[in-house]
Structure 1
């Protein structure tokens, strides 16, 4: 397809990148404006001065059910930098290890043996857990999304231990919020799409390189081949309007950049500031500012020896939720085969409780948790630790939040929203961000009289899952 329509994409996070990629492939003249000196938005890396290691602000993980994120990575030539994990390990508060992997059975039975192998639950608890999972997936209340999971779980027979050691572990990791701030609809989607509908939906995908490489040179080169112009360090001060139509953007240096259509892919709390008060006061713009966010913290640790003999693990009943082994890194200023430290990244989702706590205190607690996991960790010495918090990491999927999330087309002609905070039908995830970018591009194509389906279908639902759960 060839088009003379010019499009400005404001914001170089995943949503903006997805919109620019889709429109570039559709033949549009696209310019992406990003205020920072890099792409990726919240998916960023930086160099830790003490260790000289390049570290991510937060560990980014997707799942097999994230079909649009997978397509995005494949179309831009970065899929080879993301590795699929088909085996996970849960470590209980008592140190018991449970291997979690799919059995050669059709969905939804493929993960049943793994659930039954969770060693920190009795057989009776596992049956209660399975009844709770079935009730959630079949729940008609999810359509109304008026109840939090903290309210729903006890009402459906889930004990405090099951809530703390299963539901909280899975949902807080997936949605980055506490159970009292997770709506039933979002929780249902996690289990229905990730664990029940398709055999591969639960599989974890982890970048094998720092995030700034994932969304760095290789991606920029691909954009160049698509004809997408990327302008970094280019901040937008306002959306330029003529009546009810968007005609361009005013940069912070007062330069006017004109375009036929604009995709606004900035965080939701920055939307209204780009418009006059009369426009920013409209319901769709105010709804964006009303959306709440949740923090995610990462604790980066460098030890003189390995403290865990697994590539990653889910830690149950601890402040630490996930731990990822990031490999051996050279000791600054030293040479030789043994001159290396072992680097780990611990993720704490929904890290509200860390606010106000001294960094050293949090690091000490995490170190104690890690060094208690295996005998091999005894005597390990922490060489350096660092706490990094993304304070507005994700949208809080509170009950009823979907009613506030705006759709891509706006009341301003030629202006479109994109971002994981928009109405994608998905929680605030990488998949949701990419979907929003594709949807904005799809809407532009439709408005230009050239409709094209860009959003990819979710994984096919197995016949047995349809029969048992009505999916």
Structure 2
């Protein structure tokens, strides 16, 4: 058996964060990941000479924990963060509008954009403004809000179907990964209060300018190695036994004083059924990828309204296509809350979605589609439904020395990269605090200096 102070099970963003924080505090850490790579649900693969991300992942300026992880990995320069929120929004048959913030304090920072937002009429804009102010006043820590539907609340605020489509779902679908009628009001309040209604620059959008496997996986491998973390990829954990003994398939077992389970809820339940719930539902995401012989999108990205096409990103440069085929374009189409689409064959998805793509990008009619393929994440996020909060466990469990991490745990955030990183920070803090308590009580504790101050929670 191999000995470690802490074994971290799972090499996604939560596990990477926890392992780095613990190692930086002087703990001997071993990280075990089933897949052959690190990065979890944020990964890339090769399709011919194309570098393809499994899905389009973005972050906001308010994602302080995730941005701190990028700094720790030394890859902030491989991302782009808008100087000022600017979203091109298109609705077939209606036209294009822009949501661009000004320099005024929130929520006035969107006032100018709202006045000229042609997808809503003046009455709808006024009602949206009133509802936004009511949203800002909600106490998102009130447990009663988690039992209520976001859609029901919107109707109470006089929000009609077009306003929900053109404003609320624009943000809500991408972050909550469920429609408003199926979303927890508490989580919706968190998204809009933190992302849009509190700080002027909170919603500025950032994205990777390199493949995600390079941004997260490769950078994490290097950072973890430099921090002294032993990383075992392609290794499955079969059991975590009291003590702790971590049983590995086809590898020597590990022993540790503490274990952090940074894995999805089903895997956590299998390894530790006494501390991880089994009934937290999941919500899928589908991504459609097109390689075209010419550009049809002149923006970095565009949002769709009144169409299944929610967000379309130009990934030509980051995929390597620009260098290999000048003049061609690679588009990634994100379809959140995709329960009705996730099992459809590629040919059927193309048949369903191509008319909407043509409506959004008329130039597509003259282009040649060189490739059309689909990636699917059936368990992309936990389902942010009413009542889900009580199913999300905290980092500290009833088993001393066993901690949970992952975007599905009780972070207060929906299942985003920010939520995943925050969960890793929280689990690491809890493990360090527990080992300090053990040391003061005269029991053995992992050696090392006191932990450093973490990122804001």
* TM-score, L = length of structure 1: 0.88
1:263 corresponds in structure 2 to: 260
Contact 1:11 1:35 in 2 (8 A): yes
2:298 corresponds in structure 1 to: 309
Q: Aligned match of 2:375 in 375, 388, 392?
A: 388
1:48 corresponds in structure 2 to: 47
Contact 1:78 1:219 in 2 (8 A): no
Gaps of 5+ in 1: 459-471
Q: Distance in 2 between matches of 1:341 and 1:119?
A: 32
What is the CA deviation profile of residues 213-245 of structure 1, one whole-angstrom value per residue up to 9, with x for unaligned ones?
11233322222211112111111100021xxxx
Contact 2:8 2:259 in 1 (8 A): yes
Shift of 1:366: 2.9
Once the two structures are superposed, the pairs formed by residues 4-403 of structure 1 within 5 Å of their partners are: 6-49=5-48, 52-85=49-82, 86=84, 87-94=86-93, 96-140=95-139, 143=142, 144=144, 145-241=146-242, 246-253=243-250, 255-275=252-272, 280=273, 282=274, 284-285=275-276, 287=277, 289-327=278-316, 341-403=328-390
Shift of 1:102: 1.6
Structure 1's 59 and 209: CA in aligned 2 closer, same or farther, altered over 3 A? same
What is the CA deviation profile of residues 339-391 of structure 1, one whole-angstrom value per residue up to 9, with x for unaligned ones?
66311000000101214433212123333323333453331121110011100
SS state of the match for residue 7, structure 1? Answer: strand
Q: Distance in 2 between matches of 1:304 and 1:374?
A: 14
1:422 corresponds in structure 2 to: 409
2:447 corresponds in structure 1 to: none
Q: Distance in 1 between matches of 2:116 and 2:400?
A: 55
What is the CA deviation profile of residues 69-120 of structure 1, one whole-angstrom value per residue up to 9, with x for unaligned ones?
1111111211111111232211123252222222121222112212222111
* TM-score, L = length of structure 2: 0.90
Shift of 1:454: 4.9
Structure 1's 330 and 20: CA in aligned 2 closer, same or farther, altered over 3 A? closer
Q: Distance in 2 between matches of 1:403 and 1:355?
A: 27
Structure 1's 428 and 163: CA in aligned 2 closer, same or farther, altered over 3 A? same
1:463 corresponds in structure 2 to: none
What is the CA deviation profile of residues 283-328 of structure 1, one whole-angstrom value per residue up to 9, with x for unaligned ones?
x32x2x1111100110000111111221100111111100001116
Query: Would you say 1:411 and 2:398 are equivalent positions?
Result: yes
Contact 1:293 1:393 in 2 (8 A): yes
Shift of 1:140: 4.9
SS state of the match for residue 259, structure 1? Answer: strand
Q: Distance in 1 between matches of 2:210 and 2:180?
A: 32
Structure 1's 269 and 375: CA in aligned 2 closer, same or farther, altered over 3 A? closer
SS state of the match for residue 448, structure 1? Answer: helix
Task: Give the paired residue count.
Answer: 438
Shift of 1:406: 0.8
Contact 1:150 1:179 in 2 (8 A): yes
SS state of the match for residue 226, structure 2? Answer: helix
Gaps of 5+ in 2: 438-449
Q: Distance in 2 between matches of 1:7 and 1:238?
A: 15
Shift of 1:456: 2.8
Q: Distance in 1 between matches of 2:325 and 2:6?
A: 53
Q: Distance in 2 between matches of 1:263 and 1:105?
A: 43
Structure 1's 140 and 32: CA in aligned 2 closer, same or farther, altered over 3 A? closer
SS state of the match for residue 295, structure 1? Answer: strand
Q: Distance in 2 between matches of 1:367 and 1:290?
A: 36
What is the CA deviation profile of residues 237-295 of structure 1, one whole-angstrom value per residue up to 9, with x for unaligned ones?
00021xxxx423000126321111111111101123225xxxx2x3x32x2x1111100
Q: Distance in 2 between matches of 1:217 and 1:146?
A: 41
Contact 1:439 1:454 in 2 (8 A): no
Shift of 1:146: 1.5
Structure 1's 167 and 142: CA in aligned 2 closer, same or farther, altered over 3 A? farther
